[in-house]
Amino acid sequence: MTSSDLFPLSAEHEMIRQTARDFAQKEIAPIAAEFDESGEFPSRTVKKMGEMGFMGIEVPEEYGGAGMDTLAYVLALEEICKADAAHGTVMSVNNSLFCYGILKYGTEAHKQKYVRAIASGEEIGAYSLTEPMSGSDAGTMRSRAVRDGDSYILNGRKSWVTSAPVAKYIVLFTMTAPEKKQKGITAFIIDTDKPGFSRGKKEPKLGIRASATSEILFEDYRVPVENRLGEEGEGFKIAMGVLDAGRIGIASQALGIAEAAYEASLSYATDREAFGAKIGEFQGISFKLADMKTRIEAARLLVYNAAMAKERSKSSGERFTLEASIAKLFASETAMFVAHAAVQIHGGMGYSKELPVERYFRDAKITEIYEGTSEIQRLVIARMETGLR
Ligand code: CAA
């Protein structure tokens, strides 16, 4: 049974999925292991993804995007991540954390200048919330922006910024009024070519190694008032609202990794023989496959459901926080479960760099951590259900 039997797609959605699948399998899958090994940023294929319209799938055409819906976005991202999660990380940040945030909270001038550049694939975007001493507790950042005439002067250090080493523009969150804590955070759009901006240490990562991640530093960096996203003090809510969209992207990434690990396992189990039989004939293996398949299909429904909730929010204005957190929590834990079982089914070959299974295992782990750990997703879901703090 294929996934489309469980979730019928429109002709348009089937087409975007097939286009992304063809591109990912032809252009990305063959180079994934090499770039994972070297940790080099795959500029050439990322550029091609931009040309294909994958960097701004939901962005209206007037701002340089493909003008499609959220389901189209997750279907394409799932296919890219099935070939290589690192490429998917760059795509997810550009679409969800950069373009979505500016489309939702930015001015017309912001959309024309910054969204167009990223959605069209000319430049790479990033999103910077985390600091060395502020991760899950996102409201406790130490970096500062102080108003000075028509600009703000920024100082501080941000960490774990996906795509920072290659980004032209960054949506950045920093304190303008520390005494107000979360309500003192403000969002800005940063041009990385301006003086006072520099890149710090690159993160040596377990997985998604071809995506570039580093610290960024601000030393008396001057950002014009017109680059402020929203009003002073609105930054925390903007950060959280944007992460709701980002978490659907990470859930799609997790789904793609899980599918790749499952398909490799299915093929191995129906091919490899031991004790005079295909190993898939043994219950120890076949029950693993059944659990993997079941969790993947459940994750798929949650991811597509979250995508549709986000799509509805464009006209209703309703939040889709709950759907996004549920999808991310379940899909990321599914990716880890499936990748873990995939290594086990492959035995020694699952532990070898000759097959991509060990890469799926390493890549799956990040989906339980970034854009809100599984613990944070449980906290969000529980608070929304109970109404308690
Ligand atoms: N949308 C809009 N508003 C929201 C919101 C959302 N999703 N979530 C919270 N808010 C609002 C609340 O309504 C509240 O508003 P009021 O003050 O008006 O009541 C305000 O924000 C504060 O909310 P909380 O009191 O719930 O805040 P909290 O301090 O308890 O924190 C949290 C909540 C869920 C723990 C949050 O801090 C969180 O999600 N932390 C995880 C951060 C995270 O995901 N970091 C990853 C960074 S990105 C990354 O990984 C790197 C990369 O490059 C990919």
Percent of the chain at pLDDT > 90 equals 97
Q: Is 318 a catalytic residue?
A: no
Closest protein CA for atom 25 of ligand 1: 389
To the nearest 10°, report the CA torsion of 259, 261, 266, 272. 170
What is the token pair recorded at 224? 């014009």
Distance in angstroms (rounded) separating the CA atoms of residues 145 and 219? 11
pLDDT band at 307 (very low <50, low <70, confident <90, very high): very high
CA distances from 373 to 135, 189, 202, 370 (A): 10, 25, 21, 6
Per-residue pLDDT tens digits for 190-235: 999 999 999 999 999 999 999 999 999 999 999 999 999 999 999 9
Q: Which residues line ligand 1 (CB under 6 A)?
A: 93, 127, 129-130, 136, 138-139, 160-162, 182, 236-237, 240-241, 243-244, 319, 321, 370-372, 376, 379-380
Give me the pLDDT at residue 3, please. Answer: 55
| Burial bucket for residue 234 (CB in 10 Å: 0-12, 13-18, 19+) | middle
Distance in angstroms (rounded) separating the CA atoms of residues 285 and 269? 7
The whole-angstrom distance between residue 370's C-alpha and the CA centroid of its chain comes to: 8
Give me the pLDDT at residue 6, please. Answer: 75
Cα 137 to averaged position of ligand 1 atoms, centre (Å): 8
Per-residue pLDDT tens digits for 145-191: 999 999 999 999 999 999 999 999 999 999 999 999 999 999 999 99
Cα 322 to averaged position of ligand 1 atoms, centre (Å): 12
Mean pLDDT over 252-266 rounds to 98
Closest protein CA for atom 12 of ligand 1: 237
Look up tokens 């770039």; give the residue: 35
The gap between the terminal CA atoms of the chain, to the nearest Å, is 43
Give me the pLDDT at residue 389, please. Answer: 86
pLDDT band at 112 (very low <50, low <70, confident <90, very high): very high
Per-residue pLDDT tens digits for 335-385: 999 999 999 999 999 999 999 999 999 999 999 999 999 999 999 999 999
Look up tokens 């969150």; give the residue: 173
Cα 237 to averaged position of ligand 1 atoms, centre (Å): 7
SS percent in the chain: helix, strand, coil, step 5: 60, 15, 25
Give me the pLDDT at residue 113, please. Answer: 97
